[in-house]
Amino acid sequence: MKINVIGCGYLGTVHAACLATLGHEVMGVDTDVAKVERLSHGDPGFFEPGLPELLAQALGSGRLSFATEPTPAEVYFLTVGTPQVTDGLAADVSFVHAAIDSILPVASLDAVVVGKSTVPVGTAAGLVDKLGGRALVWSPEFLREGFAVADTLHPDRLVYGLPDDPATACRAQNALDQVYESMLAADVPRLTMNYATAELVKMAANSFLATKISFMNTMAELCECTGGDVTLLAEALGLDARIGPLFLRAGIGFGGGCLPKDIRAVIARATELGVDDTVSFLHHVDAINQHSRDRVVDRALQLLGDEPEGKKVTVLGASFKPNSDDIRDSPALEVADRLHDQGAEVTVTDPQALFGVHRSFPHLHTESDITAALTGAELVLLLTEWQEFSHLDPQATIDLVERPQLIDGHRLLLRRNQPTPLWPPQVCSNSIGGHVQPNLPLGFRRVLEMQRTDEPQMYIDNALRL
Ligand code: UDX
């Protein structure tokens, strides 16, 4: 099919490359001339495992191209950003409007427009008139950074929010079914519903995930003050089929470009709808998330004897999660920045995100070599779950630092399979989530470690077999 993907950010670039891989003729459209130029040469401009290879393959096949203006197509995907407004909690949907304005001059009346951006409930219904009879579907995207290729090619489900008019709905559904033909043939569940439900699915999914994380972070704090072990607690909870084992990792809270802004957008929309009480718990979810970051800062200051000035602190991790160079609302960088503000001499190291740190936090000292970053540290904080950090050798690290004290913000080092030796408990005793008890069964540890995204390539390889 002939497809335009409007907006070549994270979502759009991955989506365009994946659709071309599935055999469609795809044009990625973005108003940023430099980005279009870069993408045309196969450079995504951000780190995402598997994407450069996929882009190269799709560009090489001749089925993928990039341009600054839309062209006539059968299907237009809207994949522009909906960031938080600067003066409130709501999502800014102006880029969605601009994307529609850009396609109207070239899109024929039988074209199908598919919104994938995360929007407040009610947005799609408000766009129908603007489209002047062209069919609109709202089909939210659930991809995770670090797994974007695999999640796009092999999603858990496809959600179609369809128009009320049965004939238009049928036409739109047929077009999307053709786009996703190979996924449907591989039995990916496809759910059809109205616009509001589709928009709510995305809002609800991210709210629920954020709530799970904040819940576990409150449990981590309870474990710390009672002698519990939050990893074992998560295991016991996760084995309950009604709860499930995923997204129960306690740590320093969620960050990134989605969960924090999306729960705030839900609050803002519920307030507009006059039902803010209904979602008031999300304020707590957000507050607990902030508290999780505060706790790490407090603990670090405590370990520095409440005299951080001039003390050398090494922060392992800058991106908001591993296998990504995205530093938007990164808990790791917030902690690093606050310790810097308090006068500590902070050095940040990260396998992929240091360029972004230079740009957005020029005052922070960065060091790409992990040995150099650790040398002479009086306190080490492990704040992003990169595989590189999990393989740190305890004794070699202890030999490098000035004082052997480490806050493991994700319990990454506390329990690892051999051959990595265990860390001496006294070095990590101030880590998040309480005492470590030595009886974690192997099966559950596999689940936890797979969630830790150690092997993104494995997921991509599996997905490409679709
Ligand atoms: C999220 C949603 O998962 C995805 O479906 C949606 O499309 C976009 O937002 P993403 O932002 O890529 O994806 O990251 P995700 O893997 O969900 O992690 C979000 C944050 O939660 C990260 O900071 C991560 O470290 C944290 N997290 C995740 C935890 O603290 N504990 C967990 O158990 C899982």
Q: What spacing in Å lies between the alpha carbon of 209 and ligand 1's midpoint?
A: 8
Q: What spacing in Å lies between the alpha carbon of 238 and ligand 1's midpoint?
A: 17
Q: Which of 259, 288, 293, 447 to mutate to test the pocket of ligand 1 (most atoms within 8 A of CB)?
A: 259
Mean pLDDT of 112-121: 97
Per-residue pLDDT, 424: 82
**Cβ(310)–Cβ(343) under 8 Å?**
yes
* Confidence tier at 316 by pLDDT (50, 70, 90): very high
Tell me the pLDDT tens digit for each residue of 360-385.
Answer: 999 999 999 999 999 999 999 999 99
Mean pLDDT of 441-445: 46
Looking at beta carbons, which pairs linking 94-97 to residues 24 or more positions away fall under 8 Å?
A: 95/7, 96/123, 96/127, 97/127, 97/130
Mean pLDDT of 11-36: 98
Among the ranges given (92-96, 227-231, 379-383, 445-449), the one the predictor scored with the smallest mean pLDDT: 445-449
Per-residue pLDDT, 461: 53
Residues of the chain with pLDDT > 90, as a percent, come to 86
Per-residue pLDDT, 456: 52
Q: How many CB atoms lie within 10 A of CB 248?
A: 22
Looking at beta carbons, which pairs linking 368-371 to residues 24 or more positions away fall under 8 Å?
A: 370/316, 371/400
**Cβ(30)–Cβ(94) under 8 Å?**
no
Cα distances (angstroms) measured from residue 23 to each of 73, 180, 407 = 15, 10, 48
What residue owns the CA closest to ligand 1's atom 13? 144
- 3-state DSSP percent of the chain in helix, strand and coil, to 5: 45, 15, 40
**Cβ(26)–Cβ(20) under 8 Å?**
yes
Q: Which residues line ligand 1 (CB under 6 A)?
A: 141-145, 206, 209, 213, 247-249, 251, 254-256, 258-259, 320-321
Which residue reads 């519990």 in tokens?
228
Cα distances (angstroms) measured from residue 203 to each of 179, 262, 391 = 24, 7, 36
**Cβ(382)–Cβ(410) under 8 Å?**
yes
Closest by CA to 67, choosing from 98, 32, 96, 29, is 29
Of 18, 223, 258, 428, the catalytic one is 258
Mean pLDDT of 78-89: 94
Given a cut of 90, is residue 454 above it in pLDDT? Answer: no
Tell me the pLDDT tens digit for each residue of 413-437.
Answer: 876 544 556 788 788 888 888 877 6
Q: What spacing in Å lies between the alpha carbon of 213 and ligand 1's midpoint?
A: 9
Ligand 1 atom closest to Cα of residue 253: 30
Q: Where are the alpha helices (DSSP H) in 144-193?
A: 148-153, 166-179, 181-185
* The two structure tokens encoding residue 273: 């709808």
Tell me the pLDDT tens digit for each residue of 118-149.
Answer: 999 999 999 999 999 999 999 999 999 999 99
Q: Look at residue 137 and give its three-state secondary structure.
A: strand
Per-residue pLDDT, 421: 63
Q: How many CB atoms lie within 10 A of CB 374?
A: 24
Mean pLDDT of 454-461: 51
Please report how many Cα atoms fall inside a 13 Å half-sphere around the Cα of residue 73, on the Cβ side: 25
Mean pLDDT of 350-357: 98
Per-residue pLDDT, 415: 63
CA 135 from centre of chain: 30
- The region that residue 133 occupies, defined by phi over 0 for left and psi between -120 and 50 for alpha, beta otherwise, is left
Q: What's the rounded Cα separation, in Å, for the pair 254 and 329? A: 9
Q: Which of 11, 243, 254 to mutate to test the pocket of ligand 1 (most atoms within 8 A of CB)?
A: 254
Q: What's the rounded Cα separation, in Å, for the pair 203 and 140? A: 9
Given a cut of 90, is residue 450 above it in pLDDT? Answer: no
CA angle at 347 for the pair 344 and 352, rounded to the nearest 5°: 145
What residue owns the CA closest to ligand 1's atom 21? 254
Given a cut of 80, is residue 63 above it in pLDDT? Answer: yes
Looking at beta carbons, which pairs linking 395-404 to residues 24 or more positions away fall under 8 Å?
A: 395/421, 398/424, 398/427, 400/371, 400/374, 400/375, 400/376, 401/314, 401/374, 401/375, 401/376, 401/377, 402/312, 402/376, 402/377, 402/378, 403/377, 403/378, 403/379
* The two structure tokens encoding residue 30: 């973005």
* The two structure tokens encoding residue 237: 């909870």
Given a cut of 70, is residue 462 above it in pLDDT? Answer: no
Q: How many CB atoms lie within 10 A of CB 72?
A: 11
Q: What's the rounded Cα separation, in Å, for the pair 207 and 436? A: 30
Per-residue pLDDT, 423: 82
Given a cut of 50, is residue 313 above it in pLDDT? Answer: yes
Mean pLDDT of 390-403: 93
Q: What spacing in Å lies between the alpha carbon of 112 and ligand 1's midpoint?
A: 31
Q: Which of 213, 230, 292, 453 to mutate to test the pocket of ligand 1 (most atoms within 8 A of CB)?
A: 213
Mean pLDDT of 210-237: 95
Per-residue pLDDT, 429: 82
Q: In terms of pTM, does the model score above 0.85?
A: yes
Mean pLDDT of 200-229: 96
Given a cut of 80, is residue 330 above it in pLDDT? Answer: yes
Per DSSP, what are the bridge partners of residue 68?
Answer: none
* Confidence tier at 443 by pLDDT (50, 70, 90): very low
Mean model confidence pLDDT for the chain: 92
Tell me the pLDDT tens digit for each residue of 246-274.
Answer: 999 999 999 999 999 999 999 999 999 99
Cα dihedral angle (210, 212, 218, 224), rounded to 10 degrees?
-120
What residue owns the CA closest to ligand 1's atom 24? 254
Q: What spacing in Å lies between the alpha carbon of 216 and ligand 1's midpoint?
A: 14
Residue 8: active-site member? no
* The two structure tokens encoding residue 151: 């999640």
CA 68 from centre of chain: 27
Please report how many Cα atoms fall inside a 13 Å half-sphere around the Cα of residue 142, on the Cβ side: 21
Which is it for the CA torsion 402, 407, 412, 418, positive or negative? positive
Per-residue pLDDT, 453: 44
